Amino acid sequence: MNCNRHNISTLIARALERPLVKFGVMLGAIFLVELAAHGLQFDMPGWAGALIDAAILTALASIIMWPLIVKPLRVALMTAQARAQTVLDTVTDAIITIDDHGIIQAQNRAARITFGVSDEDAIGRNIDMIVPSPHHEHHDRYLENYRRTGVKHVIGTTRQLDAMRVDGEVFPIELSVSEGWAGGRRFFTATIRDITARKRTEERLQKLSNAVEQSPAATVITDTSGRFEYVNPKFLEVTGFTREDLVGRTPAVIKSGLTPPEVYEDLWRTIRSGREWRGDMQNRKRNGELYWEHEIISALKNDRGEIVNFIAVKEDITARRQAEDALQRQQVRLLETERELLNAHESLADAARLESVGRLAASVAHEVKNPLMIIRLGIDYLSKQFSQDTSQEVLDQIRGAIVRADNVIRDLLDFSRKKPFARRPTNINQVIDNAIHLTTHEIERRNIEIVRNCDDPMPLISADPDRLLQVFVNLFSNAAQAIGRDGSIEVVARSIRLSERDLERSEGSAFRIGEPVISVDIRDNGPGFSDEHEKKLFEPFFTTKPMGEGYGLGLAVSHNIVIMHEGSINITNRPEGGASALLMFRVDRKQLTNE
C-alpha cells in the first residue's frame, strides 16, 4: 500500500505521538546544557544543578519506560487503529473526513466505491470535487462563513441533496456531518448514504399513490378483518363519508341490508383463499341514498405470501343499473304486448271454433246431463234390486262410465265459459293440502307415495282458492295416471325472490328478477313425455291418454286458470326421469305494502 495513504486512525495516532517527541527533544536539550556546563567548568547555582539532574533522571526513566510502557501503548494504539479502519471499511455508508478548509484527509472503502475515486486521487484534494453545481462554486465559502461566525447550518443535521461521482454522474444522497478535534486541529466527518434506489422506490410509490388518489374508481384498503385502513377521494365523493367516518370501521357502515347473506359468505370465502372476487352490491350512502357498485376485491400479500390486507376497486354503476332496469321493464312491456298480440291473434283464429265448442258444450250439458241423471237414478234403483256379484259389478261399471261422462261435460263447460273470479288472500299450502285430500283415493289405489315439502309459514297470494284447487287436483291426477303404479309424487312449495334461472323456467310470464313469488314444483317419477308433445300440452283436446281415459281439457283449463291469476305454469321433463310442473304466483301486493 502507498506510504502516503492516510486514514482517520493515522490522524489520531499522530496527534498522540507529537507530545512525546516534543518531550524527548526538551530532555535532550537539558542534557546538552549539563554537558556544556561540566565541560566549561563554570559554577551553576544549586537549584540549576538539581533541575538538570532531575531532567537527566527523567530522560533515563523515559528510556527505561519506552520498552516497558510507551511501546506497548503504541502497539495497542496501532492495533486499535487497524481495528477502527476495519470497522470503517465494513460500514456500507461512505465516510469522508476533511479539515476545516475542505481538504480530504481520509475516506473509507464505501466512499471509494460510491464516488469511484481512490485514496491517492482523493486525499489532499478539496471536497468540492464530489459536490455538483450549484453548491460546487460556493462550498469553500460555506466553510469560511462557519469558521468566521460559528453558525451551524449542516453540522448535526441530516439532509438530502445531490452528489457527483468522479465520472460526473449526479445522484441523490443523504448527508450527515459531525465536527471533531484531534491534535488541536478541527476536522469534519461526513456520513454519506447513496439513496438512488430509495428515491426510485419513492417515485414509484408516489406514482402509485397519485394513481390511486386521483383514480376515477373508488378504492379502499382494509385489514384482514375488514376494517378500513385507506379510502381514496373518489370513494368519499361517491358515499358522502369522510375519512374520519370510515377509517377503523367495517364496511357494515355502508351496507344497505338488501344484499343476501350468501353473497357476503362467498366473498369472504373467495378472498381469504387468495382468489379474486367480482360482483355487484347495493349499498347505502351517508345520506341514506341507495346506490349500486361493481366491486373487484383481492388480497394483498407480504414477502412470505401471507395475506396482510384486502384491496377493493369499486365502480359506481347506479346509472347503468337504472338503465338496465328501465330496459328490462320495457322488455317486459314489449313481451306483454307481444303476448297480447299473439293471444289476440290466436283468439281471432279460435273464436269460431271456441264459439261452436261453447254452443256444443251448452247443448251437450242440456241434452245429455239430464238423461245421465235419469240413468244414474235407475242404476241406483237396480243396485238395490240385484244382489248377485256379477250384476253388481256390471252396474258399477255403468256407474263409472256415467261419472266419466259427467266429468267431460263439466270440463267442456269450464273451458267454454268465463266465470268471474272470487279472489281473496289465499294460503297456497291449504289449497295443496285440500288437493292431496281429494286425490288420496286414486293415489293410494295406485300405491303411489306423495311427499309434501312446503315452506311454513308461507306468504299469501291473491287467488280464487276453488279455481286453484281445480288446478292442483288435475295436476296430481295427471301425475298419478302418468306413473301408473308404484311411484312417488313430490310437492315442493317455496317463497323465493325470482332469480334469472327461475325466470327462464317461467317463460312468457311478466315476472321480474328479484320479485317475491310463490313457487310450487310438482315432480313425479313417471315416464315423462316426448319433445313433440311438450309444445301441445296446453292445447285443448290434446291428450296422450288411451281413448276413453281423457279428452285433453284438464291442462288447458288449468293453464287458463293460472294465466288469469297472472301466474305461470311450465311442464318439463326432469333430467333424472319423470316430469315437473312448475307454477309461480305473485305474493299478494297488499301483504308486501303492509310489511
Domain end (from 199, 223, 252): 199
288 and 337 share a domain? no
Provide the residue range defining the domain that includes 466.
420-594
Q: Which three cell numbers stand for residue 116?
A: 469511484
What is d(CA 214, CA 234) in angstroms, rounded to the nearest whole number?
Answer: 8
Domain end (from 316, 348, 378): 316
109 and 193 share a domain? yes
| Short-list 588, 581, 591, CA closest to 559 | 581
Q: What is the pLDDT of residue 22?
A: 52
268 and 359 share a domain? no
By CB atoms closer than 10 A (0-12, 13-18, 19+), residue 394 is: middle
| Short-list 409, 410, 419, CA closest to 364 | 409
pLDDT (tens digit per residue) in 302-337:
989 999 999 999 999 998 888 888 888 887 787 777
537 and 557 share a domain? yes
Q: Which residues of the chain have pLDDT under 70?
A: 1-88, 338-339, 341-374, 376-421, 505-510, 531-536, 538-554, 591-595
Q: Which three cell numbers stand for residue 245?
A: 367516518
293 and 334 share a domain? no
What is d(CA 580, CA 525) in angstroms, rounded to the nearest whole number?
Answer: 9
| Short-list 299, 296, 314, CA closest to 237 | 314
Number of domains in the chain: 5
Q: Considering the domain boundaries, does residue 284 fall inside one? A: yes
434 and 507 share a domain? yes
458 and 569 share a domain? yes
Query: What's the whole-model pTM score?
Result: 0.41
Cβ–Cβ under 8 Å, residues 279 and 267: yes
Q: Considering the domain boundaries, does residue 233 fall inside one? A: yes
Q: Considering the domain boundaries, does residue 469 fall inside one? A: yes
Q: What is the pLDDT of residue 247?
A: 93
What is d(CA 334, CA 338) in angstroms, rounded to the nearest whole number?
Answer: 6
3-state secondary structure string across 24-55? HHHHHHHHHHHHHHHHHCCCCCHHHHHHHHHH
By three-state DSSP, how is residue 126 classified?
strand
Q: Considering the domain boundaries, does residue 208 fall inside one? A: no
What are residue 225's phi and psi, to 5 degrees?
-95, 0
Q: What is the pLDDT of residue 352?
A: 44
By three-state DSSP, how is residue 100 classified?
coil
Q: Which three cell numbers stand for residue 329?
A: 321493464
Which letter does DSSP use for residue 348 in this model? H
437 and 370 share a domain? no
By three-state DSSP, how is residue 561 classified?
helix
390 and 519 share a domain? no
Q: What is the pLDDT of residue 532?
A: 66
- My answer on whether omega of the bond before 172 falls inside 30° of 0, hence cis, is no
The CA angle 135-140-144, to the nearest 5 degrees, is 125
What is d(CA 555, CA 292) in angstroms, rounded to the nearest whole number?
Answer: 43
Domain end (from 89, 114, 129): 89
By CB atoms closer than 10 A (0-12, 13-18, 19+), residue 108 is: buried
Q: What is the pLDDT of residue 542?
A: 56
What CA dihedral angle connects 140, 142, 143 and 144, to 10 degrees? 80
